Amino acid sequence: MKILILGTPGQLGHELMTASWPAGTELAGEAYPDFDMGRAGDVEAAVERHAPDLVVNATAYTAVDKAESERAAAWAVNAVGVGRLAAACAGRGIPLIHVSTDYVFDGGKDGAYTEDDPVGPVSVYGASKAAGEIAVCAGCAQHVILRTSWVYASHGANFVKTMLRFGAERDEMRVVADQHGAPTAASDLAAAILAIVARIRENPATVPWGIYHCTGAGVTTWHGFAERIFQRLDQKTGRRPRLTAITTADYPTPAARPANSRLDNSRLQAAFGIALPPWEESLDRVLDTLLA
Ligand SMILES: NC(=O)C1=CN([C@@H]2O[C@H](COP(=O)(O)OP(=O)(O)OC[C@H]3O[C@@H](n4cnc5c(N)ncnc54)[C@H](OP(=O)(O)O)[C@@H]3O)[C@@H](O)[C@H]2O)C=CC1
Ligand SMILES: Cc1cn([C@H]2C[C@H](O)[C@@H](COP(=O)(O)OP(=O)(O)O[C@H]3O[C@@H](C)C(=O)[C@@H](O)[C@H]3O)O2)c(=O)[nH]c1=O
């Protein structure tokens, strides 16, 4: 089975390219700037050239704050490019695995969001990702969209590495404690994708195509996430910056973020038997690598 992975240098793309795929899997990859999701023709040419049996889209414009002033750039990658990809996959009759975000929700719900809850993005990034979801659903019947949240890895840029970098320079860190969600290791998300691909390979006719939530198990806040990072930093190095819980209002950013980002993962478990590990467990594993 030949799998085309778009966005190989990103957090998820890297984990997918370095994962242990079963024998008989051939991987092909595309990366910016040779391959540009936002440039007309690139997606179609890549799908044509590689002639894969399945595509995983790991590209995205992920600069949440910058997107507020670069709407067209975010839209070109996350919505328009994704629409072209869905059409290209449908044209060849191949499945598309796509990734979306908790930021498609407005965060106003009490409790975890299910796949049936209406989206209501409060940022340009969230809106562009919501448009990408619609484009995939409309353009390619054989799709799995995994909505995940707060992704980090030892490779790439993310909150964990930001905390470690700032934590090495500053005595105090101030982090918001009123936005709730679940950190997700890119390696766990990649493992879920491998399991879904295995199911598709086994018998595509029985795959329950659709949107699924797929995050680390449990819930915390960005402050709780940082607390665990600094606990481990302390254990490993003896250094621990003071961590102060603040409110969203104390930390103004160009983009609004949902106060509640919790996603209910039970549909993924029921349909595919996939459940990601508790977020603390995966974070400790990634920190072991980062702090080694
Ligand atoms: N990061 C997070 O916290 C979360 C991410 N997600 C979603 O998960 C998926 C994977 O995200 P993640 O791996 O973390 O993201 P990254 O930002 O780590 O990687 C995204 C990749 O997309 C590439 N890319 C950006 N613009 C283009 C373009 N025009 N053409 C081709 N490639 C491009 C980037 O290239 P380059 O390396 O040159 O920048 C990078 O390789 C995305 O769909 C994202 O929306 C969902 C929830 C949380
Ligand atoms: C760096 C920093 C951030 N924060 C806050 C700002 C924000 O509310 C929260 C997270 O900040 P970041 O900007 O690092 O993370 P952000 O870019 O908002 O992360 C998001 O990325 C996109 C791609 C997604 O899809 C989301 O799931 C989510 O992971 O922490 C602090 O309170 N103190 C700090 O020192």
- Asked if 182 and 262 count as a contact pair (C-beta separation under 8 A), the reply is yes
For the entire predicted model, the pTM comes to 0.98
In a domain, 248, yes or no: no
CA of 103 relative to ligand 2 center, distance in Å: 11
Ligand nearest to the CA of 176: 2
d(CA 97, CA 78): 14
Q: Is 7 in the pocket of ligand 1 (CB under 6 A)?
A: yes
Q: Is 85 helix (H, G, I), strand (E, B) or coil?
A: helix
The residue with tokens 């106003």 is 108
d(CA 169, CA 173): 10
pLDDT of residue 10: 98
- Residue of the CA atom closest to atom 14 of ligand 1: 11
In a domain, 154, yes or no: yes
In this structure, what token pair is assigned to residue 186? 């890119």
pLDDT of residue 107: 98
ipTM above 0.95, yes or no: yes
Q: Which residues are designated catalytic?
A: 125
pLDDT of residue 43: 98
Give the phi and the psi of residue 220 in degrees, each rounded to 5: -150, -165
Total domain count, the chain: 1
In a domain, 136, yes or no: yes
Query: What CATH number corresponds to the domain at position 63?
Result: 3.40.50.720
d(CA 88, CA 79): 14
| Digit-coded pLDDT (tens) for 162-181 | 999 998 889 999 999 999 99
Ligand nearest to the CA of 75: 1
In a domain, 241, yes or no: no
Give the phi and the psi of residue 187 in degrees, each rounded to 5: -70, -35
Mean pLDDT of the chain: 97
pLDDT of residue 153: 98
Mutate to test the pocket of ligand 2, among 65, 159, 214 (most ligand atoms within 8 A of CB): 159
State percent of the chain over pLDDT 90: 99
Q: Is 152 in the pocket of ligand 2 (CB under 6 A)?
A: no
- Residue of the CA atom closest to atom 3 of ligand 2: 175
State percent of the chain over pLDDT 70: 100
DSSP state letters, 236-261? HHS---EEEEE-GGGS--SS---SB-
| Digit-coded pLDDT (tens) for 181-227 | 999 999 999 999 999 999 999 999 999 999 999 999 999 999 999 99
Distance of CA 283 to the CA centre of its chain: 15
Residue length, the chain?
292
Q: Is 150 in the pocket of ligand 1 (CB under 6 A)?
A: yes
- Please give the average per-residue pLDDT across 102-108, as a whole number: 98
Q: Is 156 in the pocket of ligand 1 (CB under 6 A)?
A: yes
Domain, as residue range, for 269: 2-158+183-218+263-277
Per-residue confidence band for 72, with pLDDT thresholds at 50, 70 and 90: very high
In a domain, 257, yes or no: no
In a domain, 134, yes or no: yes
Nearest one of 143, 163, 142, 141 to 152, comparing CA atoms: 163
In a domain, 66, yes or no: yes
CA of 214 relative to ligand 2 center, distance in Å: 18
pLDDT of residue 162: 97
Nearest atom in ligand 2 to the alpha carbon of residue 257 is 8
In a domain, 43, yes or no: yes
CA of 159 relative to ligand 2 center, distance in Å: 6
| Digit-coded pLDDT (tens) for 78-93 | 999 999 999 999 999 9
Q: Is 187 in the pocket of ligand 1 (CB under 6 A)?
A: no
The residue with tokens 């936002």 is 38
CA of 102 relative to ligand 2 center, distance in Å: 12
